[in-house]
Amino acid sequence: MDLSFSPDQLALKASAIEFASKELNHQLRERERAGEFSRDAWRACARFGIQGLPIPEEFGGSEADILTTVLVMEGLGYACRDNGLIFSLNAQMWSIELPLLKFGTPAQQRAYLPGLVSGDLIGVHAMTEPDSGSDAFSMRTRAERRGDRYILNGTKLYITNAPVADVVLVFASLNPGHGFAGACAFLVEKGTPGFTVSRGLDKMGLRTSPMGEIILTDCEVPVEHRLGKEGAGLAIFNSSMEWERSCILASAVGAMQRQLEACIRYAQERKQFGQAIGKFQSVSNKVADMYLRLETARLLIYKVAWLKQQGKSATAEAAAAKVFTSEAWVQSSLDAIQIHGAFGYMTESEIERDLRDSVAGTIYSGTSEIQRMIIARTLGL
């Protein structure tokens, strides 16, 4: 496994760090307190090329390979303290852009990908329901074929980007008796009769990433808006999840690097009992543990990216990267607060925000418990 990066790849990461530090942190404390999504930051990311990283040039993207994409997202996470914005970007890239690229018709790709890449459109997928979370395919949302249309009825909950989305990839069951084999996916545009976002949801963290509930009431969707074949919902969802689990926490690696550097600086500067607190083993051991978690998470994510770039399956590896990195980010966030003491607990320090944002990583894209189940099954258990 060769993980040496080219000068061009490293330069792109460096430019992402410079871009994010200059353009994505403005008034973050106020926006985070208000739970405000920044369209200006979203469009700035599009101009830089974030949304188009994995997308072919014909649709406005840069067609970057997955290792390059992971490297850039790591740089973004390092310099952009707005973890909510990055989460919304990831939600669009992996849950609707790549499904469109892999399963979409040429007409569907032309209709949506250029706008998603340019920042003119915002998209996401809708799978989770009030009674369907980890057991994703027990969903109750139904699709009924009537001539050249499908009629959708159901409720989707905890949907990232829902309040601002222009297009949503909605999963519904065409034949409930067939279980996951009866699932389909549909591209539903904002403004479609019967499609409503009923409420925004207030969250512990990732507050600048909007989340909402979607209600589908006799929502008519043309046949040409079905993504893939009838019954292809499982294939679409699984393909999306493997990419998402491979890439969505690359930015967390960057955030953990930022945390580590901040803790080292503080441990060198802060003095107690006549010496820098970094001289105390109770503090220096925490810093060492943060370093170990960071390097392990980085290697796990790079390995998954390398496997995907080789065209190989990475089911267990993606699950391992996701569960380890998400839990490592939580623990390193706790350590960062502990090292900074009372100041770290204050919102003005902007240190405690990472803890609130990191907890969601153990839940979204499959909980830590589900990731461990996936790993165990690949080991024959």
Kindly list the catalytic residues: 244
- Is residue 358 within 8 Å of 326, Cβ to Cβ? yes
Contact 91, 162 (CB under 8 A): no
Which residues make Cβ contacts (< 8 Å) with residue 125, sequence separation at least 6?
A: 95, 96, 99, 168, 169, 170, 171, 185, 240
Task: Annotate 173-199 with b (16+ C-beta within 10 A) or e (fewer).
Answer: bbeeeeebebbbbbbbbbebeebebee
Centroid of chain to Cα 4: 25
DSSP E strands: which ranges in the chain? 123-126, 142-146, 149-160, 167-173, 183-189, 195-200, 211-222, 226-227, 271-272, 275-276
- Rounded CA gap, 273 and 124, in Å? 52
How does DSSP classify residue 6?
Answer: P
Residues 6 or more apart in contact with residue 326 via CB below 8 angstroms? 249, 252, 358, 361, 362, 368
* Torsion angle, alpha carbons of 127, 133, 138, 139, to 10: -40
Token pair belonging to 48: 């830089």
* Secondary element (H or E) of residue 234: helix 233-247
Question: Residue 123 and residue 318: Cα distance in Å, rounded?
Answer: 23
Of 256, 222, 230, which is closest to residue 151 (Cα–Cα)?
A: 222
- In 3-state terms, what secondary structure has residue 200? strand
Contact 331, 292 (CB under 8 A): no
